[in-house]
């Protein structure tokens, strides 16, 4: 039995998240690490309650067995969220603190921007939380700051390179790139050798290049209109969505329309989430494509000479951060890519380390963003494809509230009072809404895992409503369907879910089965995913056709597909609840994250930079300077 | 005798900085902390070689004595730098590893931007360095990232507030700022009570405000043309110097000309460097002025509701970072404000903690940026004024190279070979150049400290040249003048300097004497500083006059003055070497950092966002993915 488990005294009604989080004194993180078999050489402490687990742990445990691998997805949510993170944490508290299993929760690091905007923090809720809550939501161990720094160094390199190329001859450019040393000798740096290889010049002495090769090497000739690399900031700053840069007089009129995304939308975040080692990260960062040359060839970070520097900036970020739940079970927080323009899952390295640390018979529970149509689909077809890992069980979180919405209930709007339909019994609405759950179950089951439905129970839910969900879930092929009260009761409220998940893992029989193979065309892959949404077909804009043609010509058609679609419907229309079918899915544009390793078709417009409301959360946030404690975080 | 001292084996010629830095295995930082009497409750580890020393240490040691306090400045430098950081580190290695003194080095955290641009790292050099060099230069413990986040949250709050005010009535604005809760009750958050106090409304219930008061409270009415708050990024991105924001269609045409500085130019960096406690930092961050209302009243961070959130973002950054020198003596790295638009000194809290930790008879050596006319002047008149600390000794670093330049030698240009005048004996040039040294000595001595001149010796310097400096320094009133070879020999090369500094500290007799009192006018203060430069008078632009009038009217005339002047001459003209006099100092503009606590007149144009050259340092920087080691940092 672990020495770091904490017995919770639960209060009713459930207090505010921050009050619950502050009501317990976290264990020193080295105690949590010790329970996992980790000694001081295996991690770097970041204060008393966070530690970065070093990647070298993976090498050390190479020969040992993996635990069971469980992914948590959800039905199509309401704008209020259905408690997927809370369920992920609660399930782990149950497995670790009540069922005596070795367990690690793997979750995404939240963006700091929304913490000060509308949304507040993201560490679970009620009696199922990751603590300390303020450290989880702010800075953490600096990974997102490292991404911001790396992303923007690359951005600065792009504009500055265009600027310098515009004012220098091929020869002058080459002389500056490969200056003679004190003995008059020139040399290529390693990253220049990568570029030479990319452009097919197999020479390694600068003096051997012909004038033509000098030009080809030194002049990237970036087409400014093709640049897809944007700057980032981990702040909700809507006024940076579209800007003009280069208006200073020293920039000599080389203005350009550009923009900022929030940092977690950076391709580098997706790279962090999908990489498997330092060497792999170096390759991925170097081959990120920022745009094209005027001749239509992709221009990479390594072409700009900056792939190595980006890796240096990211070298600590690759190590996942160990934290703990309210009940003292271990958590690995790592990476938080968008779930639309990226794949919305926490990192491969965190899951891999976790699987080794819990070992055979243990459990790793990892969360996939958005509904299962998006997060779980990408978990399997992108994340598992790159990791080579095989999950045994997928949990699908549902609420009576969301099912009623899918059954035809009134619109649910954040910040407005709920319609009475959602807080009084209406079995008919629930039954009708189960079409949404059923499609998520059958889609997920097709990957070869056992599906357990977790109904995140609210106090207004009735037994008849809950039974209706169970019945529908089993009819749709679920392995089990369980009612959970972890928000109100912590791990104790998810013990039945824990038992069901354990049985599901132990009794899985099928192999992992992807939705599509990689070696078909981009369009065929898009169409396979669209069919899983219920679409009858796909419609491509002219721009989308052009991009598909470009990426195919550039040799990128073998990548998996990452659909940028609303999470509020199976279809592209957020208002189409339930299980719509027969629609034509429109593809507005197609983009690519070559370093991360996927093509992302845009189904509609995705906002990649949130704004602040008239009264942002920050009005309530302050430091109690006498105790050093954060107040007002929600 | 300390157990964490390391004997250096020095090689000749001196190897590259990174090779020296990598040739020793740093002690675990908890060993360095233990030598200072610090236990695990006194610090937070950040990996194995960095720890944040908690501010609470100051409370604990309140009753104990302070060590000697030594500031290191320099003569007017060449563009190559004269080794001030190296001397600071070397002096401490001498005091700690050879003279058996308790000693702490206090240095600034370098910006990450230039590490990838032209300059390379900034951890000292040769056998006098702070290690590990890569951790010192990159991310450190996240303080600059916290500043970036806080600075940009405030920036986002400004533009968004203008936007929301433009589209809402007073009443709607007020209703959104103070929304009714579920019982229909409204309340002011704490930061709103601060604003109410600022604008002279002494009511604390929203419903008691008259319509006029509602308008006054809810509408900041910021004049967009008055906004001085810029966004920041810790990257050399010249294309962000001048930009237009708000060009997205959702921003409804509310475009504005704006710009980015490098993060260390943020006022928040100056606040961090000048604050004395969490409570003081909360006040300073809240009263930072971002611009004026259309009526000409200052608008603060607290008026925008964000002072508390900024403090929360900065709560860990206030703790200085403990590192070590090559010889195992302790270093506190903390804050790195610009030395022109800000005061260019490391933090007050680091110096205060250090003085208590070394205790009576120990030494704290802190570095002041730029030449002594700027860095040391601001050290005394701004930093010591806010800290209440009294230094005993000021070191002035000189090189034969710089003195020759001041004596009339040819121009020294970074990146170009040195003129032979600088590497062959020329006593006449040195003697002539000592006018520069002499003025720095007499200016510095006037503060009431003993002045020790440290000649940072190069291998080409001759005995006659070195003797000329000694003679001139003593004639100008120096306490002592010492030749040092710490770059080549580590602490051993600065033992004589250490002995001289010790004697200087022990024999100081005068009280601390500021250059100007605070209760004279802004112009009188500017003129006092100008006289110390050798100016015969001061000339104000129309804009400068306007700003002085504004700040005086707003009640800010009691603040100290922080001159934004070139470091390359006593005057405003970088080409005027030696000790120019009789010139009229032109003040182009006057700005203010109200939260940090100073007014800064602009003498010429200061670049606050560096650029990248055609071949930035990053071409050489990479990660050896087999060892995890950084290569190519210089």
Domains in chain B with CATH codes: 17-141+316-506 (3.40.50.300), 144-312 (3.30.1510.10), 522-602 (3.10.410.10)
Q: What is the tens place of the pLDDT at every residue in A389-427?
A: 999 999 999 999 999 999 999 999 987 889 999 999 999
A614 vs B: CB within 8 A = yes
CA distance A374 to chain B (A): 27
Report residue B416's pLDDT band, with 50, 70 and 90 as the boundaries. Answer: confident
In the block, tokens 């598909």 appear at A548
Instruction: Kindly identify which residue of chain B lies nearest to residue A312, measuring between CA atoms.
Output: B623
User: What is the per-residue pLDDT for B183?
Assistant: 82
User: What is the per-residue pLDDT for A225?
Assistant: 96
Tell me the percentage of chain A whose pLDDT exceeds 70. Answer: 99
Omega within 30 of 0 (cis) for the link into A417: no
The answer on pLDDT for A121 being more than 70 is no
Which distant-in-sequence residues (6+ apart) come within 8 Å of A509 by Cβ? none
Going by their DSSP bridges, the two strands A289-292 and A260-262 should be labelled as: unpaired
Instruction: Kindly identify which residue of chain A lies nearest to residue B166, measuring between CA atoms.
Output: A614
A257 vs B: CB within 8 A = yes
Find residue B71's DSSP bridge partners.
B366, B394
Burial grade of A382 (CB within 10 A; 0-12, 13-18, 19 or more): buried
Going by their DSSP bridges, the two strands B584-587 and B537-540 should be labelled as: parallel
Alpha helices in B391-534 (DSSP H): 400-406, 427-445, 463-475, 486-489, 495-506, 522-533
Buried b (16+ CB within 10 A) or exposed e, B145-176: bbbbbbbbbbbbbbbbbbbbbeebebeebbbe
Mutant choice from A222, A307, A623, A627 vs B, greatest count of B C-beta within 10 A: A623
Name the B residues in 471-490 with CB < 8 Å from any A CB: none
Contact criterion met (CB below 8 Å) for A384 and A273:
no
Instruction: Kindly identify which residue of chain A lies nearest to residue B53, measuring between CA atoms.
Output: A47
Across residues B593-607, what is the average pLDDT? 95
Name the A residues in 128-147 with CB < 8 Å from any B CB: 134, 138-139, 142, 145-146
CB atoms closer than 10 angstroms to residue A512:
16
The answer on pLDDT for B130 being more than 90 is yes
Across residues A125-139, what is the average pLDDT? 95
The C-alpha atoms of residue B482 and residue A345 are separated, in whole angstroms, by 61
- Reference A614, options B208, B157, B111, B393; nearest CA is B157
The answer on pLDDT for B103 being more than 70 is yes
Burial grade of B219 (CB within 10 A; 0-12, 13-18, 19 or more): middle
Instruction: Kindly identify which residue of chain A lies nearest to residue B243, measuring between CA atoms.
Output: A245
In the block, tokens 């208590």 appear at B356
C-alpha count within 13 angstroms, C-beta hemisphere, residue A336: 24
Cross-chain Cβ contact A191/B619 below 8 Å: yes
Report residue A119's pLDDT band, with 50, 70 and 90 as the boundaries. Answer: low
Instruction: Kindly identify which residue of chain A lies nearest to residue B179, measuring between CA atoms.
Output: A615
Q: What is the tens place of the pLDDT at every residue in B27-77?
A: 999 999 999 999 999 999 999 999 999 999 999 999 999 999 999 999 999
Q: Give the one of A244, A248, A622 whose C-beta lies nearest to B312's C-beta.
A: A622
Q: Give the one of A148, A190, A623 whose C-beta lies nearest to B311's C-beta.
A: A623
Contact criterion met (CB below 8 Å) for B325 and B20:
no
Query: In chain A, what residues touch B160 (CB-CB under 8 Å)?
Result: 237-239, 611-612, 616
Q: What is the tens place of the pLDDT at every residue in A594-616?
A: 999 999 999 988 899 999 999 99
User: What is the per-residue pLDDT for B353?
Assistant: 98
* Token output for B409: 């030698």
DSSP string for residues in B75-140: SSPPTT---HHHHHHHHHHHHHHTS---EEEEEPPPPSTGGGSSS---SEETTEEEESHHHHHTTT
Q: What is the tens place of the pLDDT at every residue in A273-328?
A: 999 999 999 999 999 999 999 999 999 999 999 999 999 999 999 999 999 999 99
Cross-chain Cβ contact B614/A177 below 8 Å: yes
Query: In chain B, what residues touch A243 (CB-CB under 8 Å)?
Result: 243-247
The C-alpha atoms of residue A209 and residue A202 are separated, in whole angstroms, by 10
User: What is the per-residue pLDDT for B251?
Assistant: 93
Instruction: Kindly identify which residue of chain B lies nearest to residue A255, measuring between CA atoms.
Output: B239
CA distance B509 to chain A (A): 39
Name the B residues in 265-284 with CB < 8 Å from any A CB: 277-279, 281-282
User: What is the per-residue pLDDT for B119?
Assistant: 66
Report residue B417's pLDDT band, with 50, 70 and 90 as the boundaries. Answer: confident
The answer on pLDDT for B124 being more than 60 is yes
Report residue B164's pLDDT band, with 50, 70 and 90 as the boundaries. Answer: very high
Across residues B604-608, what is the average pLDDT? 90
User: What is the per-residue pLDDT for A612?
Assistant: 94
Cross-chain Cβ contact B241/A235 below 8 Å: no
The answer on pLDDT for B443 being more than 70 is yes
User: What is the per-residue pLDDT for B352?
Assistant: 98
Query: In chain B, what residues touch A160 (CB-CB under 8 Å)?
Result: 237-239, 611-612, 616
User: What is the per-residue pLDDT for B181?
Assistant: 83
CB atoms closer than 10 angstroms to residue A591:
17
Q: Who has greater pLDDT, A476 or B121?
A: A476
- Out of A58-62, A457-461, B412-416, B607-611, which region has the weakest mean confidence (pLDDT)? B412-416
A622 vs B: CB within 8 A = yes
A196 vs B: CB within 8 A = no
Q: Give the one of A160, A190, A241 whose C-beta lies nearest to B238's C-beta.
A: A160
Report residue A18's pLDDT band, with 50, 70 and 90 as the boundaries. Answer: confident
Cross-chain Cβ contact A179/B615 below 8 Å: yes
The answer on pLDDT for B1 being more than 80 is no
Tell me the percentage of chain B whose pLDDT exceeds 70. Answer: 99
Which distant-in-sequence residues (6+ apart) come within 8 Å of A500 by Cβ? A452, A479, A480, A482
The torsion of the CA quartet A20, A25, A29, A35, rounded to 10 degrees, works out to -90
User: What is the per-residue pLDDT for B18?
Assistant: 86
User: What is the per-residue pLDDT for A277?
Assistant: 97
What average pLDDT does the structure give for chain A?
A: 96
- Reference A414, options A75, A76, A81, A126; nearest CA is A81
Name the A residues in 290-319 with CB < 8 Å from any B CB: 305-309, 311-313, 315-316
Cross-chain Cβ contact A189/B611 below 8 Å: no
Cross-chain Cβ contact A625/B52 below 8 Å: no
What average pLDDT does the structure give for chain B?
A: 96
The answer on pLDDT for B468 being more than 90 is yes
The answer on pLDDT for A633 being more than 90 is no
The answer on pLDDT for B551 being more than 60 is yes
CA distance A421 to chain B (A): 19
Q: Give the one of B239, B251, B306 whose C-beta lies nearest to A245's C-beta.
A: B239
User: What is the per-residue pLDDT for B120?
Assistant: 59
The answer on pLDDT for B415 being more than 90 is no
CB–CB contacts below 8 A, A to B? 281
Q: What is the tens place of the pLDDT at every residue in B419-435?
A: 999 999 999 999 999 99
Question: Could you tell me the end-to-end alpha-carbon distance of chain A, in angstroms, rounded to an integer?
Answer: 33
Across residues A123-142, what is the average pLDDT? 94
Q: What is the tens place of the pLDDT at every residue in A528-562?
A: 999 999 999 999 999 999 999 999 999 999 999 99
- Reference A372, options A253, A267, A473; nearest CA is A473
User: What is the per-residue pLDDT for A101?
Assistant: 97
The C-alpha atoms of residue B551 and residue A74 are separated, in whole angstroms, by 57
Which distant-in-sequence residues (6+ apart) come within 8 Å of B200 by Cβ? none
The answer on pLDDT for A1 being more than 60 is no
The answer on pLDDT for A330 being more than 90 is yes
Phi/psi of residue A467, nearest 5 degrees:
-65, -35
Query: In chain A, what residues touch B247 (CB-CB under 8 Å)?
Result: 241-244, 257
B604: left (phi over 0), alpha (psi -120 to 50) or beta: left
Cross-chain Cβ contact A315/B623 below 8 Å: yes
The C-alpha atoms of residue B472 and residue B465 are separated, in whole angstroms, by 11
The C-alpha atoms of residue B285 and residue A132 are separated, in whole angstroms, by 25
User: What is the per-residue pLDDT for A509?
Assistant: 87
CA distance A252 to chain B (A): 10
Cross-chain Cβ contact B282/A621 below 8 Å: no
3-state secondary structure of B470: helix
Query: In chain A, what residues touch B116 (CB-CB under 8 Å)?
Result: 153, 309
């Amino acid at each position: 039995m672990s020495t770091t488990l904490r017995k919770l005294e639960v209060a009713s009604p459930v207090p505010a998240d921050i009050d619950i989080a502050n009501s317990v004194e976290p264990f020193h993180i080295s105690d949590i690490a010790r329970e996992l078999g980790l000694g001081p050489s295996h991690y770097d402490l970041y204060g008393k309650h966070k530690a970065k687990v070093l990647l070298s742990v993976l090498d050390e445990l190479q020969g040992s067995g993996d635990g069971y691998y469980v992914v948590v997805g959800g039905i199509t949510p309401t704008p209020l969220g259905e408690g997927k993170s809370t369920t992920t944490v609660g399930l782990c508290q149950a497995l670790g603190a009540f069922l005596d299993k070795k367990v690690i929760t793997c979750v995404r690091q939240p963006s700091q921007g929304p913490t000060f905007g509308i949304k507040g923090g993201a560490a679970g809720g009620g009696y199922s939380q990751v603590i300390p809550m303020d450290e989880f939501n702010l800075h953490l161990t600096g990974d997102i700051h490292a991404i911001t720094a790396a992303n923007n160094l690359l951005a600065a390199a792009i504009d500055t390179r265009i600027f310098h190329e515009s004012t220098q001859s091929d020869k002058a450019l080459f002389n500056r790139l490969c200056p003679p040393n004190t003995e008059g000798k020139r040399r290529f740096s390693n990253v220049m050798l990568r570029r030479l290889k990319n452009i097919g010049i197999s020479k390694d002495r600068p003096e051997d290049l012909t004038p033509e090769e000098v030009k080809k090497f030194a002049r990237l000739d970036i087409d400014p209109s093709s640049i897809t690399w944007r700057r980032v900031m981990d702040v909700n700053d809507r006024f940076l969505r579209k800007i003009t840069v280069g208006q200073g007089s020293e920039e000599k009129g080389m203005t350009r329309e550009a923009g900022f995304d929030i940092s977690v939308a950076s391709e580098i975040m997706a790279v962090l989430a999908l990489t498997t080692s330092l060497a792999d990260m170096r390759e991925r960062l170097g081959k990120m494509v920022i745009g094209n040359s005027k001749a239509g060839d992709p221009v990479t970070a390594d072409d700009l000479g900056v792939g190595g520097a980006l890796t240096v900036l990211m070298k600590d970020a690759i190590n996942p951060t160990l934290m703990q739940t309210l009940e003292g079970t271990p958590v690995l927080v790592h990476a938080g890519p968008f779930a639309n323009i990226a794949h919305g899952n926490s990192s491969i390295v965190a899951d891999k380390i976790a699987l080794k640390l819990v070992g055979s018979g243990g459990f790793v529970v990892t969360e996939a963003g958005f509904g299962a149509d998006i997060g779980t689909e990408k978990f399997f077809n992108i994340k598992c494809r790159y990791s080579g890992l095989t999950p045994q069980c997928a949990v699908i979180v549902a609420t009576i509230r969301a099912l009623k919405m899918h059954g035809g209930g009134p619109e649910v709007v954040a910040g407005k009072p709920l319609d009475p339909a959602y807080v009084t019994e209406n079995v008919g609405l629930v039954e009708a809404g189960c079409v949404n759950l059923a499609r998520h179950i059958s889609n997920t089951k097709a990957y070869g895992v056992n599906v357990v439905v977790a109904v995140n129970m609210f106090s207004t839910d009735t037994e008849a409503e809950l039974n209706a969900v169970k019945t529908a879930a089993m009819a749709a092929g679920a392995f089990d369907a369980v009612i959970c009260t972890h928000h109100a009761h912590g791990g104790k409220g998810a013990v039945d879910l824990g038992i069901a998940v354990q049985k599901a893992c132990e009794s899985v029989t099928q192999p992992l089965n992807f939705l599509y193979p990689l070696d078909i065309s981009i369009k065929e892959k898009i169409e396979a995913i669209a069919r899983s949404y219920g679409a009858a077909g796909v419609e491509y804009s002219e721009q989308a056709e052009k991009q598909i043609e470009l990426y195919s010509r550039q040799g990128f058609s073998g990548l998996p597909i990452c659909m940028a679609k609303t999470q509020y419907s199976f279809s592209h229309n957020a208002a189409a609840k339930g299980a719509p079918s027969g629609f034509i899915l429109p593809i507005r544009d197609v983009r690519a994250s070559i370093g991360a390793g996927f093509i992302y078709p845009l189904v509609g417009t995705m906002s990649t930079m949130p704004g602040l409301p008239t009264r942002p959360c920050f009005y309530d946030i302050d430091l109690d300077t006498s105790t050093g404690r954060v107040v007002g975080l929600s």
